[in-house]
């Protein structure tokens, strides 16, 4: 396996900004970056309302923002919540809203090369796919705080060079990636298959994405 499984009894770093980000030294993490315009604002506003309503229908106090409530839910309800809204997010990303920057092979290659550049030195990089509007990857980091630093580095470096290649300025990526620590072998295998299947589910041709399978 690429790294370790998440150990709930070991030290854990939780960094909260727009949402909690859990990281643990050596643990495999599934990360998704998406471009800034990949989900229309109207859809994001609708999801905000629907998340509050989802909790309210199940009897949870919706006076607080959904992001504060979800972390307190019983495991079963928390898993159901994430499954529902993760499914919607992934379907929206595969619909290719916005500029779909990574239709351009040179920009997709730029992102892939950035991910691979420090592989084996700063982190261990597993399977990844560069889709027209987003990137999925599996990785393991030596320390808990290095995940955030490396994600910031990837996003900053690629944004600078994408803007330069396009002769523009402005936001390229959504500010915070989605990340999830892998809990068991079955989930690890599922996520590897999910990454491999993403182009087919989005009805992309082989030359319309960049996929790398980890064989370490």
| pLDDT, tens digit (0-9, with 9 covering 90-100), for 74-83 | 989 988 998 9
Backbone Cα Rg of the chain? 17
Strand partners of residue 138: 30
Q: What local confidence, expressed as pLDDT, does residue 135 receive?
A: 98
pTM (2 d.p.): 0.87
Tokens of 32: 């998704």
| Segment 116-139 mean pLDDT | 97
The percentage of residues in the chain with a pLDDT greater than 90, rounded to a whole number, is 75
Tokens of 39: 């989900």
pLDDT band at residue 17 using 50, 70 and 90 as cut-offs? low
The 3-state secondary structure of the chain reads: CCCECCCCCCCCEEEECCCEEEECCCEEEEEEEEECCCCCHHHHHHHHHHHHHHHHHCCCCCCCCHHHHHCCCCHHHHHHHHHHHHHHHHHHHHCCCCCCHHHCHHHHHHHHHHHHHCECCCEEEEEEEECCCEEEEEEEECCCCHHHHHHHHHHHHHHHHHHHHHCCCCCCECCCCEEEECCCHHHHHHHHHHHHHHHHHCCCCHHHCEEECCCC
Q: Residue 18: pLDDT above 60?
A: no
Q: What local confidence, expressed as pLDDT, does residue 64 receive?
A: 86
| Segment 186-213 mean pLDDT | 95
Mean pLDDT for all residues in the chain: 92
pLDDT band at residue 174 using 50, 70 and 90 as cut-offs? very high
pLDDT band at residue 19 using 50, 70 and 90 as cut-offs? low
Q: Residue 145: pLDDT above 90?
A: no
Q: Residue 14: pLDDT above 80?
A: no
In the CATH hierarchy, which fold is given to the domain comprising 13-37+99-212? Alpha-Beta Plaits (3.30.70)
Domain layout of the chain by residue ranges: 13-37+99-212, 41-93
């Amino acid at each position: 396996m690429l790294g370790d499984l998440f150990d709930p009894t070991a030290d854990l770093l939780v960094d909260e900004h727009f949402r909690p980000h859990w990281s643990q030294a050596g643990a495999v993490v599934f990360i998704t970056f998406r471009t800034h315009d990949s989900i229309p604002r109207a859809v994001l506003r609708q999801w905000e309302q629907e998340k509050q309503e989802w909790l309210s229908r199940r009897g949870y106090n919706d006076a607080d923002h959904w992001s504060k409530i979800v972390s307190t839910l019983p495991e079963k309800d928390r898993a159901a919540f994430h499954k529902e809204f993760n499914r919607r997010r992934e379907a929206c990303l595969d619909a290719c809203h916005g500029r779909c920057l990574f239709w351009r092979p040179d920009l997709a290659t730029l992102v892939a090369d950035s991910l691979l550049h420090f592989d084996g030195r700063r982190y261990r990089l597993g399977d990844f796919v560069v889709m027209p509007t987003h990137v999925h990857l599996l990785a393991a980091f030596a320390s808990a705080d290095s995940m955030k630093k490396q994600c910031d580095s990837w996003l900053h470096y690629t944004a600078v060079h994408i803007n330069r290649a396009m002769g523009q300025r402005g936001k390229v990526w959504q500010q915070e990636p989605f990340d999830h620590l892998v809990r068991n072998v079955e989930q690890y295998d599922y996520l590897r298959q999910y990454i491999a299947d993403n182009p087919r589910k989005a009805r992309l041709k082989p030359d319309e994405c960049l996929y790398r399978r980890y064989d370490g």
